[in-house]
Structure 1
Amino acid sequence: MPLWSSSQRSWKLGQKDTVGASPQLPRQDYEALQERCLRNGCLFEDDTFPATLSSIGSGHLLQKLPGHLQWRRPTELHVNPHFYSAKAKRLDLCQGLLGDCWFLAALQALSLHQDILSQVVPLNQSFTENYAGIFQFWFWHFGKWIPVVIDDRLPVNEAGQLVFVSSIFKNLFWGALLEKAYAKLCGSYEDLQRGQVSDAFLDFTGGVSVTIKLAEAPRNLWDILSRATYGRTLIGCQTHSGNQRVLENGLVDGHAYTLIGTRKVTCHHKPEYLVKLRNPWGMVEWKGDWSDSSSTWELLSPKEKMVLLRKKDDGEFWMTLQDFKVHFKLLVICKLTPGLLSHEVGQKWSYTAQEGRWEKGTTAGGPIKSHQARNTFWRNPQFLLTVWRPQEGRMFLTPCSVLVSLLQKPRHRHRNRKPHLAIGFYLFRMSRFYDDLKKLPPEFFLQNKPLSFPEAFLPEKEVSKELWLEPGTYLIVPCTSEAWQESEFVLRVFSRKHVFYEIGRNSRAVFSKEIVDQTEGQDEVFTKLFEKCPEINAAQLQRILNQLTWSGLGSTQPIFSLDACQGILALMDLNASGTVSIQEFRDLWKQLMLYQAVFYKQDSTQSGCLNRSQLRAAIKDAGIVLSDDICLLMLIRYGGPKLQMDFVSFVLLMLRAEKAESIFQNLTQDGKGIYLQKPEWQMMTLYC
C-alpha cells in the first residue's frame, strides 16, 4: 500500500525553499524538499509549476482538454503504482492529447539504452520508499546537466485517465512524470506542441545530432544506419509536412517516429534492406510491403519470419529502406560520441565548450554578404581553435575529424514564445600569427576566404558540421543570418585533441607563435641548435629547454632539472639510443607548446602551480580524461608536498599519460582491455 493517501495534507513550496533561483528555471534542492516533506508528514506541491491551467498553457491546447480536468497523483490512480519496471517492455509509452510526438519519438529511442535513460530518469525513485510526492529528473541544458524537480500531480480526465503521455502498463508512471518535468523546463505543456526530435535528443544526452534529408541521402545510408543501430546512438525520423493526418498507407503526415532496428534479409537470392520503426501513438502502422499483414513475409524462411514478424497493433512495423526514403523526409541521428559518420575505432575524443553572446551594437555582426558587410562581420565573437592529431606520440600533417556544434539559447522562458534565430558559423585558416588577443580586424576578413561557411542559415536550436582539418590553427566565427540580432549561444568542439578559446573577451589563453604555426620560423632555430650535434643527450636537452623563452607562462619561467630531462628523453627516445634527434625534438616542442597553453589557461592566479581541480581541467584540455581518484594519485605522485603541480612536473605527467595511452591503443584488440606479456608489463611500469 502507498505510504501517503489523498486525505493527507500537502505542503506547498515557499520562496525561501528555492535554491539558486534563476529567471529561466527555479533551482530546487530535491533532497532537502523531500526530507522536509517526510519530516512534516505531507506531500510536496510545487508552486513553481502548479497543478493549474497555467502549467498547461494559454493557447489552442486548452480547447482540446476534456471537461472536468483534474490533477491526481499516481497513488490515487492505481492501487499499486510503480515508477519504473525493468521487466516491462521498454517501448511502453503512448502519446496523449499533446502534439509532442517529437518528444515521444526521442524518448522511445532513449529507452533503448538503459544507462542513458537512468541518467535522465533516476530509476531508484518509487511510490513506497521515502515517497513524498516529489520526483527529480535531469536534462542537459546548454552545457550543464541540471535537475528539474516536480510534484507528481498529473492531469487526468473525469474517468481518471491520463490526458497526456501514458504507459500501456497502467500502473507505470515514469513517462508521464518525465513529460511533466520536460514541460516545466520548456515553460508549459503547450510549449511541447511543436519541436524537433533533435531538440529532445540534445536535452536528453548532450550529444550532437546529424540531420539527413532523405531526398539527398548519401549512398552509404545503409552503412550509416547499421553502425548507428548497433552503436550508442539515438535515431528519429519524420514524415513529410502535414497536420498529423493518417494517410491511406498507414503513415501519419507531419509526424515523428523512432527508428529502432535494421535488418538485411534475403529474398529470391537477393538482399532486401529493412528498417524497423515505431509510432509514438503506440498504434497506427504502415500498410505497405513488409507491414504486419503484408504477403512479402512469405518470401523469407520460416525461421527468419518467426524472428522478425510480430502481428500486433502496437505502432511497430518494418518497411524497406527504399520506401523509408520515399515516405520520410528527415532522419535524425544523435551521436553520443563523435565519429559516427567517419568511423574511428578505439579512438579517444576530447570536448570543449565556450559560451558567447550576440549583442546589438557590439557583437552581433551578422553574416558575410559583401565586402562592405565584412566591416560588421568582424564584430561577431571570434574563437581560436588549434587542432592536433596525436598518434603514437607524434604529429602527422594528415587531416583529422573535427565536429563543431553551435547551440542558441532560448530567448524566452517559454520555448515557443519566440522562434529560433537563423544561425551558422564560418571557419578560417590562420596563415600567420596575430600578436595580441584582440579580435581580428576587418582587414583579415577582406584578405582571407573562409574554408567553411553556412550553405544556409537555419532557424534551429543546434547546427553542426563535421570538418576534416589539417593540424594547425583556425578561426571560428558564429553569427546570425542578420546583423544586430541578439541571443546567447554555446559553441562546442569535438576532436582527438585541440585547444579552443575565445579571443577579445578577457581571454587568458596565450599561444606563442610556435603553437600557431608549429614549423614556420622554427626550422632555422632548431637547425642551429642541432648543427654541431645531430643527436643531443639529457644534459644538452636541459640546457636548451632552460635557455628558451616560455612566453606563454607569464613571469614564471620553468627550470628543468637534469632528472626531469632524463625522464623526458626516455619517453621521446624511440630508438633507445639515449639521445633525441632534431625530428624527435620537433615533436617534443609541439607537445610542450600545447602543455604551455593549457597550463597557463588554468593557472588563473599565475602562481606557477595547479591545484587538483585546475590540474584535472588542464589534463582534459590537453585531450586526456582521468577520474578524480587517478587525478589525485597523479598529483600525489608528481606534485609538491602541498598537492600543487608546477609546469615541469605537468610536462612529465602529460608525456607519461600520452605514452600510456599510445601503448594501450597499440595493444588493445577491442578498445576496452588488454592482455600484457611480462616484457610488455615491465615496459609499461617503467613508463608510468
Structure 2
Amino acid sequence: MDKMEVSECSIFINQEQEHAQQLTSSQIRGGVTVAHTTRRPIYKVQYTSFTLKDTTSMMQQFLRLSFGHTHTALWCSGQCTWLRAYGFQDQFPDVNVQDFYQLRDQSYTSGRLFEDPEFPATDESIYFSKKPNFKCEWKRPREISKNAQFFVEGPSRFDIEQGSIGDCWFLAAAANLTLIKNFFYNVIPNDQGFDEKYAGIFHFRFWQYGRWVEVVVDDRLPTKNGKLVYTRSSETNEFWSAIFEKAYAKLYGSYEALDGGTICEAMVDFTGGVSERIDLSRITQDSLLSIMLKAYERGSLMGCAINATADELEAETKDGLVKGHAYSVTKVKLFDFKTRRAEGQIPLIRLRNPWGQIEWKGPWSDKSPEWRYVPEDEKKKSGLTFDNDGEFFMSLRYFHSSFSELEICNLSADSLTTKTLHEEGSTRWEMSIFEGSWVIDLTAGGCGRFTESFWRNPQYLITLTDADKDDGDGKCTVLVALMQKNRRAQRKMGLEILSIGFEIFHLADPSRTPKPLTAKFLAQSEAVASSLPFINLREVTCRVRLQPGVYCIVPSTYQPNEEGEFIIRVFSETKNNME
C-alpha cells in the first residue's frame, strides 16, 4: 500500500461490547487511551495527521510492540522527543529523531555549530503568554566568556544561581542532584563540553512517567546586555547549569513553562523517584526527625518552603528566610556537642537558598556562638564552612517552626543505581507501577462523593505479604503516589493541572469480593487511607502503615468526566504485588 494521509484511525483491542460506543465518544486525540473497565483493559489508538505506509498493519505492530504487558498507556503527541522517549522511531521512519552523537558528528565535520530546529532561538522558546520586558539576544557560551567551560572543577551545588524566572523549584532540585554524582552524570552526561568535538550541541536525560527521555539542545542562551538572563553559575565561565535549564525548558515547551512548580516535580524528573509532601504543622518534631533521618540515610532528595500569599512571595523574614521560595535540604545530622553543664547530640538541618545569598540569621547560623560547643573534628568531618553562599545550618526545632512543608523524593529500583548518596549498604524502596487514564463517560468517575460513578474509576489491587523488618508492630510501610501526565507541557494549550487523589480500601475476604469493586461495595466500605484533600498537583502521595493483606487503590479526579492520563506507583519497604 502506498503512503497515505491518515486524519484519524482507531483500533479496539479486548473491547467489551457494552462499552464500545462510549469509548468511541472519547475526546482524546492524537494518543492512546486505556480504559480499565474490567480485568481486561480496552485500548483505543488514535493518530491525527500522521503519514503511514500501511495503516492497519502499522497500528497492529504498534500495539503489539507497545503493550507488552496489559497495564500500559502512553501519550504520543507527535513531538520527536516523545517518540524517541518511547522508542517508536522504528515504527515512524518519517519522523526526524534527534540523535545526539549523529548530530554532533555531522555538525563537527561540516564546521557549522548545531542549531536546534525543535527549540529555536526565538521568542516562542521563551514564552507562550507573558512576553518578557526586555529584548533577548541569543548568545553561545564562547560569545559570553572567552574561556567557556561546561564544568569548572566539577559540578557543585554552588554552581546554580537563579535568574529572572520563577524556577527556584527546579534549581533547588538541581542543587540536590549534584550531591549524588552517579545520578548527576546519568542526567547530565560527562561526554560533552567545549573542548574535543565541540559542535554547539549538548544532551540531557530526564525521567518521564516510567521512561528515560533524552533531550538534545544547542547552546544558544538568552542574554541581556551580554549577560545570562536565566540560570547562571557563580563561576562566570561555567555553563552546565544554564544549558541544563534550557534542556528542561525544551522538555516542557518554553522557559515560561518553568515558572512556578514544586521541588519534588523536578527531583522526580531527575531520578524517577516518588514525591512526598509533609505539612510540618501536622507532625511532631520527633516524627519529623525520624522521617528526615531515614530519608537522608536512604539517599532521598529533600526540599522545603514557607507558604506565602500572593503579596508575600519572595518576602524576606527578619530571620533571613524567604517566603514562597524553594530551599534544598543538603544534610540531616545529629551533631555531638558539649557544654559545661551538658553533653549529647543535637539534630541540625543544612539548607541552601538557590539565590546563592540571603541566609538564616538565627541559632546555628554561620558564625553563631552555638558552634563553639561542637568539637573541631566534628566540624571538619561535616565540611562546615561559613561563606556567604546561600547555605546554612539550623536546628530541627527552628526548622520545624519556621518552614511550612517538607518535600521528599524517595528513590527506588527505578532510580537507576545501586549506590546511595551516603552509604552503599542503605536500603531502597520496592516499587510497583501501573499506567491508566480517566476517560469521559467510561472511567472518569470522580471522587467518592459521587457514589453512583466512583466505582467506574480504574482500580488496582495490591497484596502486602511481609511486615517491615525493624519496626516490630507487624505492619507494612506503604507510600502510594498518583501522578498525572503531561499537564505542564500542555499549559500553552490552555490545559491546567487537574485536582486528583485516591482512596485505599481493605479487602477482608478477597475471594468473595466483587472485581471490579461495585458501587454498592464502595458505598458500604470505609477507606483505610487516602490522599485527601484533592489538590491540583502533578503528583499526590500518601504514606501509611497497613497490616499485611489485600487492598484496592482507586485513583480519581475530583469531578466526574475530567479526562487525563496518569501513572500510579506503590512503594514499600518489603516486596509488594500489584495488579
Match of 1:227 in 2: 294
2:438 matched to which residue of 1?
358
Cα deviations by residue, 1:557-605 (Å, 9 ceiling, x for unpaired): xxxxxxxxxxxxxxxxxxxxxxxxxxxxxxxxxxxxxxxxxxxxxxxxx
SS in 2 for 1:237: strand
- Do 2:304 and 2:328's aligned partners in 1 also have CA atoms closer than 8 Å? yes
- Paired amino acid for 2:392: F
Q: Residue 461 of structure 2 is aligned with which of 384, 397, 419?
A: 384
- How far residue 426 of structure 1 moved from its aligned partner, in angstroms, is 1.5
The aligned residue for residue 22 of structure 1 is 77
Q: Taking structure 1 as reference, are residues 359 and 300 closer, same or farther at Cα in structure 2, changes over 3 Å only?
A: same
Q: How does 1:258-297 map to 2 (within 5 A)?
A: 258-263=328-333, 264-266=335-337, 268=339, 269-270=342-343, 271-297=345-371
Structure 1 residue 337 and structure 2 residue 412: aligned?
yes
Distance 1:260 1:149, change over 3 A: same
Which amino acid in 2 is paired with 1:55? S
Structure 1 280/38 Cα, relative in aligned 2: closer, same or farther at 3 Å? same
Secondary structure of the equivalent of 2:158? coil
Equivalent pair of 1:390/1:497 in contact (CA under 8 Å): no
Q: Aligned AA for 1:153?
A: R
Alignment match, 2:28: none
Cα pair 2:436 2:458 within 8 Å, conserved: yes
Q: Which residue matches 2:575?
A: 497
The reply on whether 1:73 has 2:140 as its aligned counterpart is yes
> How far 1:301 moved relative to its partner?
5.0
Structure 2 residue identity aligned to 1:146: V
Report the equivalent of 2:228. 162
Q: Secondary structure in 2 aligned to 1:176?
A: helix
Distance (Å, rounded) in 1 between the aligned partners of 2:297 and 2:140:
38
Partners of 2:499 and 2:558 within 8 A in 1: yes
Corresponding residue of 1:129: 196
Q: Could you list the per-position Cα deviations for residues 378-415 of structure 1 after superposition, in whole angstroms to 9, with x for gaps in the alignment?
A: 111112223333999xxx99533333211011346344
- In structure 2, relative to structure 1, the CA distance for the partners of 1:24 and 1:382 (3 Å cut) is farther
**Change beyond 3 A, Cα 1:149–1:391:** same
Correspondence for 2:483: 407
What is the CA-CA distance between 1:226 and the residue it aligns to?
Answer: 2.9
Matched ranges for 1:194-233 at <5 A: 194-218=260-284, 219-233=286-300
CA distance in structure 2 between the partners assigned to 1:281 and 1:59 by the alignment: 26
- Unaligned 5+ segments in structure 2 are 1-49, 52-74, 85-97, 414-419
Q: Cα distance, 1:308 vs. partner?
A: 6.3
Change (3 A) 1:386 1:302: closer
Is the 8 Å Cα contact of residues 510 and 550 (structure 2) preserved in structure 1? no
Report if aligned partners of 2:467, 2:548 keep a CA contact under 8 Å in 1: no
Aligned-pair identity (%): 40
What are the superposed Cα offsets for residues 92-139 of structure 1, whole Å, 9 maximum, x if unpaired?
Answer: 211111111111111111111101111111012111222221111111
| Separation of aligned partners in 2, 1:348 and 1:179 | 29
Q: Is the 8 A contact 2:232 2:239 kept in 1?
A: yes
Contact 2:488 2:497 in 1 (8 A): no
Give how far 1:309 is off. Answer: 5.2
Give the match's secondary structure for 1:43.
coil
1:50-129 paired onto structure 2 within 5 Å: 50-60=120-130, 62-63=132-133, 65=134, 67=135, 69-87=136-154, 89-129=156-196
CA distance, structure 1, for counterparts of residue 377 and residue 487 of structure 2: 55
Q: Which whole-Å CA distance do the structure 2 matches of 1:348 and 1:121 have between them?
A: 23
Offset, 1:88: 5.8
Of the three residues 374, 385, 401, the one matched with 1:326 is 401
Match 1:427 to one of 493, 504, 508:
504
TM-score, normalising length: structure 2: 0.74
Q: Is contact 1:91-1:111 (8 Å) kept?
A: no
d(CA) in 1 for partners of 2:142, 2:383: 38
**1:47 maps to which of 110, 117, 126:** 117
After superposition, the C-alpha distances for 1:20-60 in whole angstroms (9 at most, x for unaligned) are 98345634222222232233322111121111111111444
Shift of 1:296: 3.6
Q: Distance in 2 between matches of 1:296 and 1:348?
A: 35
Tell me, in whole angstroms, the C-alpha distance in 1 between the residues paired with 2:279 and 2:287.
Answer: 14
2:514 & 2:118 partners in 1: Cα distance? Answer: 44
Q: 1:447 to 1:273 in 2, by over 3 A?
A: closer
Q: Could you tell me which amino acid in structure 1 is paired with residue 355 of structure 2?
A: W
Q: Does the CA contact (< 8 Å) of 2:467 and 2:475 recur in 1?
A: no
- My pick for the range that moved more, 214-223 or 264-273, is 264-273
- Alpha-carbon spacing, 1:97–1:25, altered in 2? closer, same or farther (3 Å): farther
Contact 2:352-2:390 at 8 Å conserved across structures = yes
The SS at the match of 2:405 is strand
Conservation of the 8 A alpha-carbon contact between 1:257 and 1:279 = yes
Contact 1:292 1:309 in 2 (8 A): no
* Alignment-mate amino acid for residue 444 of structure 2: A
Match of 2:320 in 1: 250
Residues 1:462 and 2:539 aligned together: yes
Contact 2:530–2:542, Cα closer than 8 Å, also in 1: no
- In 2: Cα distance, 1:240 partner to 1:305 partner: 32
Query: 2:103 matched to which residue of 1?
Result: 33
**Secondary structure in 2 aligned to 1:324?**
helix
3-state SS of the aligned residue for 2:318? coil
Q: Equivalent of 2:215, from 148, 161, 165?
A: 148
Query: What secondary structure is seen at the aligned counterpart in 1 of 2:257?
Result: helix
Partner amino acid, structure 2, of 1:498: N
Contact 1:350 1:498 survives alignment (8 Å): yes
**Which residue of structure 1 aligns with residue 242 of structure 2?**
176
Matched AA of 1:175: S
Separation of aligned partners in 1, 2:427 and 2:373: 41
Deviation larger for 463-472 or 231-240: 463-472
What's the offset of the Cα at 1:253? 1.4
Offset at 1:144?
A: 0.8
Offset of residue 376 of structure 1: 0.5
Deviation, 1:465, is 2.0
Q: Which amino acid aligns with 2:251?
A: L
- Residue equivalent to 1:367: 447
User: CA 1:217 to 1:436, structure 2 compared with 1: closer, same or farther past 3 Å?
Assistant: closer
Partner of 1:386: helix, strand, or coil? strand
Q: Which has the higher contact order (CA 8 A, sep 6+)?
A: 2
Q: Report the CA distance shift for 1:103/1:398 in structure 2 as closer, same or farther (over 3 A).
A: same
Evaluate the alpha carbon distance shift between residue 438 and residue 173 of structure 1 in structure 2; reply closer, same or farther with a 3 A threshold: same
Distance 2:524 2:514 in 1: 19
Read off the aligned partner of 1:46 and give its amino acid letter. D
Partner residue of 1:315 out of 377, 390, 405: 390
Number of equivalences: 469
CA deviations on 1:600-627 (whole Å, 9 max, x unpaired) are: xxxxxxxxxxxxxxxxxxxxxxxxxxxx
The CA RMSD over aligned residues, in Å, is 3.1
CA 1:421–1:267: 2 relative to 1, 3 Å: farther
Measured in 2, the distance between the counterparts of 1:191 and 1:291 equals 35
Shift of 1:442: 2.0
Q: Residue 214 of structure 2 aligns to a residue in which SS?
A: strand
Cα deviation for residue 304 of structure 1 reads 5.4
- Write the deviation string for residues 308-336 of structure 1: whole angstroms up to 9, x where unpaired: 65332111112222221222111112111
Which runs of 5 or more residues in structure 1 are unaligned?
1-14, 502-688
